[in-house]
A = this chain, B = another copy of it.
Amino acid sequence: MGGSRSPDRDKQSSSNFDVDYVITYDIPPNAESAEAEASFTQLIEDLSAVGFATEVRPGRTPSSLLVFVKLASPALLKSQVYRARVQDWLFGVRPSAPAPSDPSSSSPSSPPLPSSTSGNGGGDGSKAMDRYFAEEEPVTEAERLRLTYELITRPRNEGGGAGVTPRLGRWRFVSSVFPLHDRAFNRAWIASWSKKYYLDESDIGLIRDRFGEQVAFYFAFLQSYFLFLVFPAAFGFAAWLLLGPFSWVYAVVNCLWAVVFFEHWKMKEVDLAVQWGVRGVGRIQLPRTQFKFDREGIDPVTGEVIKVYSPYKQLARQLLQVPFAAACVAALGGVIAGCFAIEIFINEVYNGPFKQYLAFLPTVLLTIFNPTLTALLTRLAEKLTEIENHRTHDAHQAAFVQKIFVINFITSYLGIFLTAFVYVPFGKILVPYLDVFKLTVQRFTAEGKTLQTKDWQINPDRLTRQVIYLTVTAQIVNFATEFVVPYAKRKIFRTVERVQSELSEKKGGAAAAAEGQQQKFRQDQPEEAAFLERVRDEAELDEYDVAIDYREMVVQFGYLSLFSVIWPLTACSFLVNNWVEARSDAMKIAANCKRPIPWRADSIGPWLSALGFLSWLGSITSAALVFLFKNGSGSADGSPWDMSGWALLLSILLAEHAYLVVQLVVRSVIRKLDSPGLQKERSERYAIRKRLLERMVEWDVSGSDAARGPGVSGGGEKITRDTLEEEARRLSVAGEGKLEQLFWQRQRSAAETIQIGRALIAETAANKTK
> Which A residues contact B (CB, under 8 angstroms)?
8, 11-12, 15, 17-18, 25, 27, 29-30, 33, 36-37, 40-41, 44-45, 47-56, 58, 62-63, 65, 67-68, 70, 72-73, 75-76, 79-80, 83, 86, 90, 100-101, 113-115, 117-127, 151, 159-161, 300-302, 311, 314-315, 508, 511, 515, 518-519, 521-522, 525, 527-528, 531, 644-646, 648-650, 652-653, 669, 672-673, 679, 682-683, 686, 689-690, 692-693, 695-696, 698-700, 702-704, 706-708, 711-717, 719-721, 724-725, 727-728, 731, 739-740, 742-744, 746-747, 750, 753-754, 756-770
Contacts and interface: CB of A to CB of B under 8 A. Distances in A.
Nearest to A750: B48
A702 B124 CA distance: 10
Given A714-B79, A747-B54, A764 B63 contact: yes
A56 B749 CA distance: 11
A284 to B, nearest CB: 12
Contact of A73 (B17, B29, B645, B727): B727
A301 B37 CA distance: 60
A58 B518 CA distance: 110
A673 to B, nearest CB: 7
A519 B742 CA distance: 21
B646 A750 contact: no
Contacts of A682: 301
Nearest to A672: B311
A534 to B, nearest CB: 13
A715 B160 contact: yes
Contacts of A25: 757
A753 B41 CA distance: 9
17 contacts: A15-B740, A44-B754, A48-B725, A49-B716, A51-B724, A55-B753, A62-B763, A62-B767, A70-B728, A76-B712, A79-B715, A86-B692, A101-B699, A124-B706, A125-B700, A519-B763, A646-B646
B117 A696 contact: yes
Given A118-B118, A511-B770, 8 more contacts: A12-B739, A41-B757, A51-B724, A55-B753, A70-B744, A72-B724, A80-B716, A519-B763
Contact of A41 (B702, B743, B744, B754): B754
B30 A702 contact: no
A679 B117 contact: no
B113 A118 contact: yes
B159 A44 contact: no
A36 to B, nearest CB: 5
Contacts of A690: 302
B762 A50 contact: no
Contact of A754 (B45, B754, B767): B45
Nearest to A684: B301
A550 to B, nearest CB: 22
B744 A18 contact: yes
A522 B759 CA distance: 10
Which of A29, A124, A669, A763 has the largest number of chain B CB atoms within 10 A? A763
A754 B122 contact: no
A706 B119 CA distance: 15
A696 B725 CA distance: 50
Contacts of A161: 715
B53 A715 contact: no
A703 B120 CA distance: 8
Given A716-B151, A758-B41, A702 B120 contact: yes
Contacts of A311: 672-673
Copies in the complex: 2
Nearest to A105: B118
Contact of A724 (B44, B73, B127, B746): B73
Contacts of A18: 740, 743-744
A75 B40 contact: no
A764 B101 CA distance: 51
Contact of A706 (B49, B125, B760): B125
Contacts of A80: 716
Contact of A15 (B122, B160, B739): B739
A53 B733 CA distance: 14
Interface core residue of A76, A114, A704 (most chain B CB under 10 Å): A704
Contacts of A692: 86, 90, 117
Contacts of A122: 702-703, 706
A159 B696 CA distance: 13
Contacts of A8: 739
Q: Which 4 A-B pairs have the closest CB atoms?
A: A645-B646, A160-B715, A125-B703, A115-B118
Contact of A45 (B45, B118, B750): B750
B86 A126 contact: no
Contacts of A11: 739
A420 to B, nearest CB: 18
A90 B712 contact: no
A488 to B, nearest CB: 30
Contacts of A700: 79, 83, 125
Nearest to A742: B527
A482 B53 CA distance: 80
B765 A33 contact: yes
A760 B679 contact: no
Contacts of A766: 515
Indicate the member of A45, A117, A757 with the most B CB atoms within 10 Å.
A757
Given A55-B744, A515-B763, A728-B73, A40 B127 contact: no
Contact of A644 (B41, B646, B739): B646
Given A44-B753, A90-B689, A123-B707, A765 B27 contact: yes
Given A739-B11, A756-B521, A669 B315 contact: yes
B768 A29 contact: yes
A652 B50 CA distance: 63
B527 A739 contact: yes
Given A29-B768, A518-B763, A696 B86 contact: yes
A61 to B, nearest CB: 9
Contacts of A100: 703
Contact of A717 (B115, B160, B695): B160
Contacts of A56: 747, 753, 756-757, 760
B767 A508 contact: yes
A12 B291 CA distance: 68
Contacts of A760: 27, 56, 58, 65, 518, 521-522
Contacts of A712: 51, 73, 75-76, 79, 126
